[in-house]
Amino acid sequence: MAYPALGLEGRSAVVIGGTAGIGKAIAIGFARAGANVAASSRRESRVSETAGEIEQQGRCALRQTADVTDRASLEGLLDAAVSAFGKVDILVNCAGRHKRSPTLDVTEEEFSGVLETNLTGTLSACQIFGRHMIERGYGRIINMGSLGSSVGSYEVTPYTASKAGVAGLTRSLAIEWGTRGVLVNAIAPGVFVMPPSKAGTDPASRADELLARMPLGRFGEFEELVGPAIFLASEAASFVNGHILVVDGGFLASSTAP
């Protein structure tokens, strides 16, 4: 038996939240691995820019905005992707919100808003694209968790609750859909270098504390999430289902209190 391929030649992928940060790195990485890619988000300019970068890899791209809090928007994204590519083999859910605040100060509106994007939005995308995949008898869904999928985090209760929910959702869908040809997994990134626009969201002392707990002595780079995503999307992961793949440089191995 030949070793299963790690490439994505002939596959079509949709990356929601795929025009910045982790999502964009994965979208471009998928294109380099051979897939046609629809990298979508709410901002038309970012969608167009990322599509151009995908096309530079010699792959087909799609210019279609989407909002995970709007089911009609997600349904439109599916229709556009099927029209452009003929099918959707891979879905990556990267859209997310994050807010740091003491839990006593978090309003119900703030809590609901984070969950609506990070958890309910992920569910909506899984339902809409999962139905298409189940009808075809094939699919790979990769949800985006975090360290908060496994442990608590300081002053980010809504975010942590949402990412713990993503882990539970991932496992539940894996049980329901595995026998129907759709594998559902998640990636849980550790602490990664933020772009300049988001620098300073954590106090410097907090960053120093986190860095002191990193066994590799540094934070991760977004490109270091591309390989794990390609693996889960490829035939090399044909028996991986319901797994939360932690990519944290060993952070959780050295500490349970991020």
What is the model's pLDDT at position 1?
47
pLDDT of 83 higher than 90: yes
- By residue range, what is the domain housing residue 20? 12-191+221-247
Task: Select the more confidently predicted residue: 186 or 252.
Answer: 186
What does the pLDDT average to over 194-221? 71
Q: Does residue 31 form part of some domain?
A: yes
Ramachandran bin of 7, using left for φ above 0, alpha for ψ from -120 to 50, beta for the remaining angles: beta
pLDDT of 198 higher than 60: no
Task: Select the more confidently predicted residue: 47 or 198.
Answer: 47
Q: Does residue 227 form part of some domain?
A: yes
What is the model's pLDDT at position 105?
94
Q: Does residue 202 form part of some domain?
A: no
What is the model's pLDDT at position 197?
39
Q: Does residue 197 form part of some domain?
A: no
What is the model's pLDDT at position 3?
62
CATH number, domain with residue 65: 3.40.50.720
For the chain, the domain total comes to 1
Q: Does residue 208 form part of some domain?
A: no
Confidence of residue 256 (pLDDT cuts 50, 70, 90): low
What is the model's pLDDT at position 135?
98
Q: Does residue 44 form part of some domain?
A: yes
Task: Write out the catalytic residue numbers.
Answer: 159
What does the pLDDT average to over 227-239? 97
Confidence of residue 213 (pLDDT cuts 50, 70, 90): confident
pLDDT of 257 higher than 80: no
pLDDT tens digits for range 117-164: 999 999 999 999 999 999 999 999 999 999 889 888 888 999 999 999
pLDDT tens digits for range 2-11: 566 889 999 9
Q: Does residue 1 form part of some domain?
A: no
What is the model's pLDDT at position 51?
98
Task: Select the more confidently predicted residue: 90 or 193.
Answer: 90
Mean pLDDT of all residues belonging to the chain: 92
Rounded to two decimals, what is the model's pTM? Answer: 0.93
